[in-house]
Structure 1
Amino acid sequence: MNLTIHQTFLPVDDPDKSLAFYRDALGFEVRNDVGYEGMRWITVGPVDQPQTSIVLEPPAADPGLTDDERRTIAELMAKGSYASIVLGTSDLTGTFERVQASGADVVQEPTDQPFGLRDCAFRDPAGNLVRINQLP
């Protein structure tokens, strides 16, 4: 069996700010930008990995959600505890400096973890945790 990660979804409450973070700070290309009924889905991904994408989606677009569920999602996003993603780079220091220079919310500067990994972390404009690992 040959599986790849094709898409993952991250909730965003301000598509323009999130687009600036993923496109400008992280350097992802925009692959799709679709609006529907006042909502917006933006697909981004690494330039050299056309098969892998992140879809920035409205957090409460699912019509099956109740108002209570929508409020819970909004509360968790405001706390920065709703969603996360882990990215990898061959240049952690350079990537950290670029993202930090964009004004992103730094959660953790590059650190050698006790379990053998070097990484850093940011919050995107929606509060999602974005960890970046140093690749070998």
Structure 2
Amino acid sequence: MTVSLRYCHITVNDPDESLAFYRDALGLELRNDVGSGGMRWVTLGSPDQPELEIVLSAPSAGRSQADADALQELLTKGVLSMVVFGTDDVDALFEKVRASGAEVLQEPMDQAWGPRDCAFRDPSGNMVRINQTPKA
């Protein structure tokens, strides 16, 4: 039996603004842009992982107003769970993302626990880390 991650949901304020970050700066491909009943979500992914989709949606997507308000408050504070991407060249991807104007939280550095990584905030304030597995 195998278990694998299929979807990763990221709550964002504005799917269009976030699309520019995740597609244009990080290089993910747009897979779907869905509007239904006043809700909208966008799915993206990497050509290297066709089975994994990243879903961008607003706090109000499919939630009660009270839940949307609570989620919006956490998003505004920047305390929602981070997302971590992997790459084979963290320094090159760092420069590409920085050139997009994204807020840099940490420049590339070698971590004591193994990877070389960096960190940004997406347009909604989510922490996005990018790491590179050390070469053997």
Q: TM-score w.r.t. structure 1 length?
A: 0.91
One-letter amino acid of the structure 1 residue matched with residue 119 of structure 2 = A
2:6 aligned with 1:6, yes or no?
yes
Contact 1:11/1:83 (<8 A) preserved: no
Equivalent residue number for residue 109 of structure 2: 111
Contact 1:34/1:41 (<8 A) preserved: yes
Equivalent residue number for residue 32 of structure 2: 32
SS of the equivalent of 2:101 reads coil
One-letter amino acid of the structure 2 residue matched with residue 45 of structure 1 = G
One-letter amino acid of the structure 1 residue matched with residue 7 of structure 2 = Q
> RMSD over aligned Cα, in angstroms?
1.4
Cα offset, 1:66, TM superposition: 5.0
State how far apart, in whole Å, the 1-side matches of 2:17 and 2:68 are: 21
Q: Which runs of 5+ in 2 are unaligned?
A: none
Percent identity reads 54
Residue-pair matches, total: 134
**CA displacement, residues 49-78 of structure 1 (integer Å, 9 cap, x when unaligned):** 211110001223233x352x3222111111
Q: TM-score w.r.t. structure 2 length?
A: 0.91
One-letter amino acid of the structure 2 residue matched with residue 53 of structure 1 = E
SS of the equivalent of 1:97 reads helix
